[in-house]
């Protein structure tokens, strides 16, 4: 077995036994990137040469993670390295500082292999909206890897990085993890600092791990979680070791299955595989009941009103004056603003800015944005009621498996419906994890979503770990790179 095929905890075990060196690990991944990047298109910026130099002098006494490589979604600021958000607007922007999560990785001696492709400013569900390239799904190169963290998910699934950081605004970690057959964890809002994350929708965005298995997810969460004074939404909590929750035991765990997430719009094979996974939980001693969470349609509307409104506000700073792309075609100040934004932003970003500006405008604010915030409160209350009765909820992660490139990008409404199962968790600020639960008749992976109450990551990880250990998806299923 090649080094790049191993999980992070397997790599650490070999490092601890002096069977391998950090330099050998980085070389293995660098070679793999050389082999697969042209097919997959996961990287916007490669730093594997710099990583190799860093690996030669890494201090293994510093941390058990010292010398382990990682990939970073390209909306997290990295000092001295381009942070583009896969947009022409920031194509040449080099951050003067590190995001808090990057500082935490650096403190552990973790080495970045580069910045990973995404939908522009995290707006999209397929990574087709990058200004630079379309990332392919390693299970089938004609299909999308999901989005907006598609580069991160595809890089992990194709073994170009052992793990990666993604960001999740309405499913952007979980959905690509599902479509690429790996694990994606969206932490509770406020558990991981957003300082240095280029904002899309500030009340929804959350950084989280994208990994090969649940154990790696728990380890990466240990590193990046924690209070940060530089982020006003960061929550002060007692420090936890999430790896302690990796116990194969769900006896007595109360699981709710919201029937609304198994109805119209959910592919039959997806539904069947998630239902089979639910039966596995019953065999393991969990108490499973059908329940009602009648918020799906409202959640999608609330999400798109909220995220577009916040995007309109957050992206106002990109004006061609302070930093970012500036048009060469201008004769006055108004031209600079208008042409820089027209030329610098892609079609999907412009669409969401226009929608957001509309719902915030005088005369429409009360009818749309204010009403959406009221419904958002109701959604939070509905979840709270359910979690009075259940420890976790189970739903599909995505209504379908990965679809062919180009089939939905021309129909924004159809693309937005792909977020049906994931957006409500961001609206309520709850944690969610996607784990693979099977493949369809064409061998494409299917993901199952586990949802927990706020700051119940240990329960989610225990439930996910139990299922993973029982079914061993990775041992039986590998990406095929078929065309």
Residues with catalytic function:
73, 148, 172
CB 153 within 8 A of CB 105: no
Helix (H, G, I), strand (E, B) or coil at 36: helix
CA 126 vs. chain centroid, Å, equals: 12
Query: What does the radius of gyration of the chain's CA atoms come to, in whole angstroms?
Result: 21
Cα 337 to Cα 78, 270, 326, 346, distances in angstroms: 27, 46, 8, 15
Q: How far apart are CA 210 and CA 213, in angstroms?
A: 9
Angle between helices 457-471 and 268-283 (to 10 degrees): 100
Which candidate, 323, 118, 87, places its Cα nearest to that of 207? Answer: 118
- Asked whether 289 and 405 are in contact (CB, 8 A), the reply is no
CA distance 27 to 34: 11
Give residue for tokens 């429409």.
364
Q: For 406, which DSSP code?
A: T
DSSP H stretches of helix in 41-164 = 48-56, 100-107, 150-157
Q: How far is CA 212 from CA 7, 46, 232, 368, in A?
A: 6, 21, 32, 40
Report helix, strand and coil shares of the chain as percent, to nearest 5. 40, 15, 45
Cβ of 314: how many Cβ atoms within 10 Å? 18
Chain centroid offset of residue 464 CA:
17
Tell me if 269 sits within 8 A of 446, measured CB to CB: yes
| SS3 state at 206 | strand
Dist. CA 473–CA 476, nearest whole Å: 5
The rounded distance, in Å, linking the Cα atoms of 449 and 251 is 19
Instruction: Decide if 214 contacts 447 (C-beta within 8 A).
Output: no
CB distance 158 to 138 below 8 Å: yes
Helices and strands in the chain, H and E counts? 16, 11
- The sheet with strand 445-452 has its strands ordered as 43-46, 111-116, 69-73, 163-168, 206-211, 183-186, 432-439, 445-452, 392-396, 254-258, 287-291
| Of 468, 384, 390, 472, residue with least CA distance to 428 | 384
């Amino acid at each position: 077995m090649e080094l790049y095929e191993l999980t992070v905890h397997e790599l650490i075990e070999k490092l601890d036994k002096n069977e391998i060196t950090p330099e050998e690990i980085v070389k293995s991944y660098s070679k793999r990137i050389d082999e697969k990047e042209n097919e997959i298109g996961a990287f916007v910026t490669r730093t594997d040469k710099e990583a190799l130099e860093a690996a030669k002098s890494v201090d293994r006494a510093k941390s058990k993670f010292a010398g382990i490589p990682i990939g970073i979604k390209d909306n997290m600021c990295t000092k001295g390295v381009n942070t583009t958000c896969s947009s022409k607007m920031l194509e040449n922007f080099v951050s003067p500082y590190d995001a808090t999560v990057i500082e935490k990785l650096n403190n552990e001696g973790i080495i970045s292999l580069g910045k990973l492709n995404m939908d522009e400013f995290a707006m999209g569900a397929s990574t087709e909206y990058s200004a630079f390239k379309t990332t392919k799904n390693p299970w089938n190169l004609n299909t999308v890897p999901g989005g907006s963290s598609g580069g991160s998910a595809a890089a992990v699934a194709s073994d170009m990085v052992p793990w990666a950081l993604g960001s999740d605004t309405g499913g952007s970690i979980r959905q690509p993890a599902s479509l690429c057959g790996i694990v994606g964890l969206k932490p509770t809002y406020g558990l991981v600092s957003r300082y240095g994350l280029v904002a899309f929708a500030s009340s929804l965005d959350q950084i989280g791990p994208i990994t090969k298995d649940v154990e790696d997810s728990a380890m990466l969460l240990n590193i990046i979680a924690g209070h940060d004074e530089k982020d006003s939404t960061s929550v002060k909590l007692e420090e936890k070791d999430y790896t302690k929750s990796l116990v194969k035991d769900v006896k007595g765990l109360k699981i709710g299955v919201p029937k609304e997430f198994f109805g119209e719009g959910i592919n039959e094979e997806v539904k069947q595989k998630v239902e089979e996974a639910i039966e596995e939980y019953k065999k393991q001693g969990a108490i499973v009941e059908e329940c009602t969470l009648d918020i799906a349609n409202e959640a999608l509307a609330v999400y798109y009103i909220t995220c577009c409104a916040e995007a309109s506000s957050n992206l106002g700073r990109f004006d061609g004056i302070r930093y970012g792309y500036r048009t060469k075609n201008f004769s006055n100040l108004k031209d600079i603003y208008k042409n820089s934004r027209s030329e610098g932003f892609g079609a999907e970003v412009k669409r969401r800015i226009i929608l957001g500006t509309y719902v915030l405008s005088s005369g429409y604010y009360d009818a749309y944005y204010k009403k959406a915030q009221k419904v958002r409160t109701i959604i939070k209350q509905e979840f709270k009621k359910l979690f009075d009765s259940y420890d976790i909820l189970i739903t599909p992660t995505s209504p379908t498996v990965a679809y062919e490139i180009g089939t939905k990008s021309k129909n924004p409404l159809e693309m937005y419906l792909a977020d049906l199962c994931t957006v409500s968790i961001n609206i309520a600020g709850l944690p969610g994890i996607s784990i693979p639960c099977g493949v369809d008749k064409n061998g494409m992976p299917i993901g199952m979503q586990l949802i927990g109450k706020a700051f119940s990551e240990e329960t989610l990880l225990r439930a996910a770990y139990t299922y993973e250990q029982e079914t061993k998806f990775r041992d039986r299923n590998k990406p095929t790179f078929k065309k």
